[in-house]
Amino acid sequence: MKGTNLETEKAVNIIETILFVSEEPVSVKKLEEVLDEFPPEKISECLGMLGERLENHGLELVEIAEGWQMRTRPAMGEWVKKFHKISRSTRLSRAALEVLSIVAYRQPITRQEVEDIRGVDSSGIVKKLLEKNLIRLLGRRRLPGKPMTFGTSKKFLEYFGLVKLSDLPALKDFAGKFNEAEQTDFVFATESASEEKEPADILLEQEVEMIEPVEEDYEESLDEEESFGEI
Amino acid sequence: MSEYRVKLDVFEGPLDLLLHLIKEHELNIYDIPVSTITKQYFEYLDLMQSLNLDVAGEFLVMASTLTYIKSRMLLPSPAEGGEEEEEEDPREELMRRLLEYKKYKEAAETFRDREEKQMLTFGRNFTSEWDANDADYLEEVSVFRLLSSFREILEKTDNAEQFYEIRLEEISITEKMTALLDMLEKKPRLCFADMFEGATSRMELIGTFLAILELMKQQLIRVYQEKEFGEIWVQGGEQVKTMDDDNIEDQLENKTGHEGNELGN
C-alpha cells in the first residue's frame, strides 16, 4: 500500500511536469497515454491532488478546452502584464464576437449564412477569426459552389475559458430581454427558429464524412472574394 | 476633411441600427410601427451620410426593404370575406430576422463577459498574437448610440447658434485625435459630451466625432456605458494601459450584477 502512495505522489509530479511543459491544455486521455503504467481511473484523483498542491501558488489548475492546464491566477494578471510589457489588452470587437457566437451555435455554418443572420458583410471578420484560430474550417457544404463551412476551435474554448461547447448557455435562453407580455407572442417565432435549425444538424452528419483536404484552396478562394479591408 | 471616411460597416450593420431604434424609442418589436421606424432609419442614414461615413450597401438595401414594407402596409388587404389564405404580415420576415439576430447579439455579450474574465489569466501558450498592434476594435457602446448622442450635441449647438461662419476651417482628424488623447491623459475618464468642449464650429464637432470613431477603431480609447442609456464614458490610452484588476473586477461585478447567472459556472 505504501508503494501505491508513493506511486500516486510520483504521478502527481509527472502530471505537473507535463502540464508545465505543454503549451496547450492536456486532455485526460493524453495523460493516460503518458502515464501508461498508472491506473487510468486514478488520474482524476491525481489532478485533484495537484489542484490542492497549487492552492497557495501563483498558478492554478484549471479544466479548460477539453483538457487541463496550469494557468496564472487572475490576481497575478497585472504582474504578467508588467513582465511582458503588455500595455493594453486587445479584445475582440462586437462584430467579431457576434460572428463567433453565430458560428458557435450554428456550426457548421457557411459565411453566407453568417451574413444572412447579421445582415452585413462579414468576410473580413471571418478571415480574421480564422487567422486567430478561433474558428476553423470544417468542410464544404454540398451545395452549388461548395461553400466552406466553419466551426469553433479548441482555441476558442480556451479563449473564453470554456471546458466544452456544451457549457455554453442554450441559445433559446437568449429569447430577448423584452417584457413578459410580449414574450407570449414570441412562442411561434422560437418554434419556427428551432425548426429551421434541424437541417443544420442533418448537414453536420453529412459533413463528417466529407471533410476534404481543403486547406490549399481556401486561402485562394478567400482572396478571390477581394476587399476584406481591415476588420 | 471631406477626404476622410470612417468605414462604418466594420462596426455594425442595418439590423443593429433597427434594434437600436427599437430600443431607443421603446418600440414593440412584435408590432413595429413601420412608418415611424422608417422615418427614423432614414434620419440616421442622412446623419451618417452627412458625416461622410462610409455607409455599407446593406444599409441601402434595408432602406428599400423598409420602404417596401411600408407601402405594403398601406395597401388594403384583399379581404373579400372569402376564406382566402391569411395574408402574411409584411413585417413578419423582418421581425423574424431581428429576433434571430438579437439572440446571437445577446449571446455575444456573454462571450464578452467571459473574455473579460479570461483575460486576467495566462497559460504558457499565451503569445503576443493578442497584442496591441492588432487593429481590432473595441467598442462597448454601439456606434448608433454614439450617433444619437452626437446628434443631440449637434442640435444643442445649432439651437445656441453663436457661430460666425467666417472661413472654411481646415480640421485635421489626426490633430483632433492627438488633442483628444491629450485631454484624456489629464483626466482618467471624460463623459462623451466633454470631448466636444471647446469646439467652435459644426465642422469641428464633426471632426471631433470622427476622431473619436477612429480612436475607437484603433483601440486607443475605450468608450463604455455603465448602464444602458446611462452616461457614455470615454477612457484614454493611459487608463487602458494600466487598467488594473480593481477596475476590471468592478466591471465584472457590474456585469454580473446586471446579468446574474449568465456568467454561470
**Same-domain status, A112 and A168:** yes
Residue A112 has pLDDT above 90, yes or no: yes
B111 chain-A contacts, CB cut-off 8 A: 92, 97, 100-101, 160
Return the pLDDT at A69: 96
C-beta separation of B241 from B188 below 8 A: no
A89 part of a folded domain: no
The model's confidence at residue A18, banded by pLDDT at 50, 70 and 90, is very high
The pLDDT score that the predictor gives to residue B250 is 44
Closest to B219 (Cβ–Cβ): which among A25, A90, A229?
A90
- Examine the domain organization and report whether A50 and A114 are in the same domain: no
- Chain A residues within 8 A of B102 when measuring between CB atoms: 174, 176
Last residue of a domain, one of A54, A83, A112: A83
Which one of A83, A113, A137 terminates a domain? A83
Chain A nearest-CA residue for B261: A169
Q: ipTM > 0.85?
A: no
Looking at A83, A110, A131, the residue that finishes a domain is A83
Distance from CA of A224 to the nearest CA of B (A): 20
With 60 as the cut, is the pLDDT of residue B260 above it?
Answer: no
Of residues B104, B119, B244, nearest to A101 (C-beta): B104
Are both A31 and A111 inside the same structural domain?
no
Q: Contacts of residue A132 in chain B, CB cutoff 8 Å? A: 129
Report the run of H or E that residue B142 belongs to, with start and end. none
**Non-local CB neighbours of B40 within 8 Å, separated by 6+ positions:** B21, B25
Residue B2 reports pLDDT greater than 50: no
Q: What is the CATH number of the domain that holds A40?
A: 1.10.10.10
Q: Which residue of B has its CA nearest to A24?
A: B125
For the record, the C-alpha cell of A71 comes out as: 494557468
Identify the closest residue of chain B to A230 by CA–CA distance.
Answer: B135
Is pLDDT of A190 > 60? Answer: no
Distances (CA, A) of A143 to A203, A211, A217, B10: 11, 14, 17, 28
Residue A187: per-residue pLDDT: 38
Instruction: Tell me, yes or no, whether A218 and A118 share the same domain.
Output: yes
Range of the domain at A151: 94-224
Residues A146, A34, single domain; the answer is no
What H or E segment, with its residue span, contains residue B109? helix B92-118
What amino acid occupies position A211?
A: I
Residue numbers in A near B118 (CB within 8 A): 159-161
Q: At what angle do helices B14-24 and B143-159 cross, to 10 degrees?
A: 60
User: Which pLDDT tens digit goes with each residue over A38-82?
Assistant: 999 999 999 999 999 999 999 999 999 999 999 999 999 889 888
Other CB atoms within 10 A of residue A2 CB:
6
Q: Answer whether residue A49 is part of any domain.
A: yes
Contact flag A22-B130 (C-beta cutoff 8 Å)? no
* A187 is a domain residue: yes
Same domain for A103 and A148, yes or no, is yes
How many interchain CB pairs under 8 A, A with B? 183
Cβ separation B10–A231 shorter than 8 A: yes
How would you label B10-23 residue by residue, b for 16+ Cβ within 10 Å and e otherwise? bbbbbbbbbbbbbb
Mean pLDDT of B260-265: 35
Domain match, A99 and A123 both:
yes
Q: With contacts defined as CB-CB under 8 Å, which chain B residues touch A119?
A: 13-15, 58, 62, 97, 101
Examine the pLDDT at B151 and tell me if it is beyond 50: yes
Whether residues A172 and A103 share a domain: the answer is yes
Q: What's the confidence (pLDDT) of residue B259?
A: 36
Cell of B180: 483628444
* Of A65, A24, A70, residue with least CA distance to A47: A70
DSSP letter (8 states) at residue B91? T
Q: Determine the pLDDT at residue A119.
A: 92
- CB contacts, 8 Å: A88 with chain B: 132, 219, 237, 240-241, 243
Q: pLDDT tens digit string along A136-175?
A: 999 999 999 999 999 999 999 999 999 999 999 999 888 6
Is A88 within the bounds of a domain?
no
B99 contact partners, CB below 8 Å, separation of at least 6: A176, A186, A189, A193, B29
Q: Is pLDDT above 60 for A198?
A: no
Assess if residue A121 is contained within a domain.
yes
- Residues of B within 8 A of A192 (CB-CB) are 96
Name the closest residue on chain A to residue B10, using Cα atoms. A231
Alpha carbon distance A194, A205 (integer Å)? 18
Residue A229 lies in a domain: no
Q: How far is A1 from chain B (nearest CA, A)?
A: 36
Mutate to test the interface with B, among A91, A107, A116, A168 (most CBs of B within 10 A): A91
**Neighbouring-strand partners of residue A140:** A148
A138 lies in some domain: yes
Contact B13 A69 (CB under 8 A): no
Mean confidence (pLDDT) of chain A: 79
Using the predicted structure, report yes or no on whether residue B69 has a pLDDT greater than 60. yes
How many structural domains is chain A composed of? 2
Beta carbons of A22 and B7 less than 8 Å apart? no
Cis ω on the peptide bond leading into residue B188 (within 30° of 0)?
no
